[in-house]
Structure 1
Amino acid sequence: MNPELHEEISGMTTSLVAAIAIGLPPEKAMAELHRRFKQIIKREGLSPEEIAYLRGKIEKWPPGYAEQWASGYAVGLANGKAKGTLAVLEVRGIPVPDSARERITTCTDLDRMDAWLERSRTVKRAEDLFADDPDVPQEKPGLD
């Protein structure tokens, strides 16, 4: 969990524990905590793990379930981004070789998938999606 979110949640929890200590019924404190978690969960940019943590607290998931949910959620996000990238290339009439299609559909790095989806709007060839990836050797023009 990112440090800012962790600090925010810790602060909320501490303030509600203090409120219980001075007389707020625990049920009301938990309802307020869940309400605040539901507000946080609507924010853009939360990781699957952060969403799973918050949902697990709200929905009282059993131990270990949040991790399974986050993993499945991340796979679903990656699949959706892959389909989106391929759809943009298709609409633009750009052929996608099998090697590029496999790379797109098997990637699980959500940040990389976001970059590919963004690039799919402007690339001339499907292979150009990978041009700025640090782990891909770049082709150098040959001296014929």
Structure 2
Amino acid sequence: MLSTESLIAFTTIMDCGSFTAAADKLGVTASNVSRSLAQLEKQLGVRLLTRTTRRLDLTAEGAWLLERARVILENLNDAEQQLQAAAARPSGLVRVNAAIPVLDHLLAPHLAGFQARYPDIRLELAGAEAVVDARTWRYASDRWPTPR
């Protein structure tokens, strides 16, 4: 199977126009870039470039591969970005227990926007007729209220 590293080296060589410029862009030596291309050509059994002292030209096979390599690398980059974005997206359960007027007048107008912005967060809303101070509950029953 083709390695991503060799496809990146190949596309970068063609984008930069030389092995040295590609090596500088990739942060490696020119010999590493040359070796990567040689391994790719050996693996495929075809020449991808014709080299002279002044130019690099694609062979027909090289042109064919370059077009596909760019698509493959773009798809890999898109997949990586999507997965990183999904991992960074907040998710889970948020429970809100409040007096009914607070839920109706302060919270309700913002729920649709919140759900649109954070689709992976589940909301559980519980309303009470009266607001009970947790400290009062604790002293009256000698225990903390348990969430439901």
Which structure would you say has the larger Rg? 2
TM-score by length of 1: 0.29
TM-score by length of 2: 0.29
